[in-house]
Amino acid sequence: MKRLVLFITGVLLIIIQNSIINYIDIFGVTFSILLPVLVMSSLYIDEIEASVIGLLLGFIIDITVGGIVGINALILSAISYTISHYKKNFYINSTSMIMALIAISTVFQSLVMIIASLIAYKTDGFLIMILKGFIILPILNTIIGYLIYKLFGGIIMKLSKE
C-alpha cells in the first residue's frame, strides 16, 4: 500500500513540477520538489521498492519533459537505491543529515545531467552549468527539502512503521 501511495504522490508532484514550478525561475534554475521527497522517503523504505519507485517516476519525467529518455529514470533509481541501501549509516532523525543527502543527490543529478548534455547536445557555457548545478540548485533543493520536511516529515517517517 505504501508503495502505491508513494508512487501516486510522486506522480502528483511531477504534475505540479511540470505545470507550476517549472515556470518559477530562480537565478536561471528551477528547483525540484520530487527529489527531496524521494530522498526522504528512501530513508524509510526497502532498497528495491525505493529504486523501482525512482525508476518509474524518472520514466514519467523523461516522457513528460523530454530530453534524453531514460536519464532521469536511471538517476532517480540510483539515488533512491543508494540512500535506501546505506540508510543504516545515516542518522535519519537529523534534519541536517537529510538536507545534506538532498544536496548531495542534487549534485549527483546535476553532474550526470551536465555530462549527458555535453555529450548529447554539445552545449556551451560549461562554467555556468557548473555554477547552476553544483551551487545554486543544491541550495534551492535543500531549502525546498527543509520546508517539505518541516511540513510533511511526520507523514514521511510513518513509512517505516507500516
Closest to 43 measured CA to CA, from 147, 143, 145? 145
CA pair distance 127, 141, nearest whole angstrom: 20
pLDDT tens, position by position, 96-118: 999 999 999 999 999 999 998 88
**With contact defined as beta carbons under 8 Å apart, do 32 and 17 qualify?**
yes
pLDDT computed for residue 161 by the predictor:
58
Q: Which residues of 128-158 are buried (b: 16+ CB within 10 A; e: fewer)?
A: ebeebbbebbbbbbbebbbebbeeeeeebbe
pLDDT of 162 > 70? The answer is no
29: β partners: 26
* Grid cell of 23 as nine digits: 515556470
Closest to 42 measured CA to CA, from 34, 129, 116? 34
pLDDT tens, position by position, 122-160: 776 788 888 999 999 999 999 999 999 999 888 877 766
pTM of the model: 0.89
Closest to 71 measured CA to CA, from 39, 113, 35? 113
Query: What is the biggest distance separating any 2 CA atoms in the chain, rounded to whole angstroms?
Result: 48
What are the φ/ψ torsions at residue 139 (nearest 5 degrees)?
-65, -45
Closest to 132 measured CA to CA, from 110, 148, 153? 110
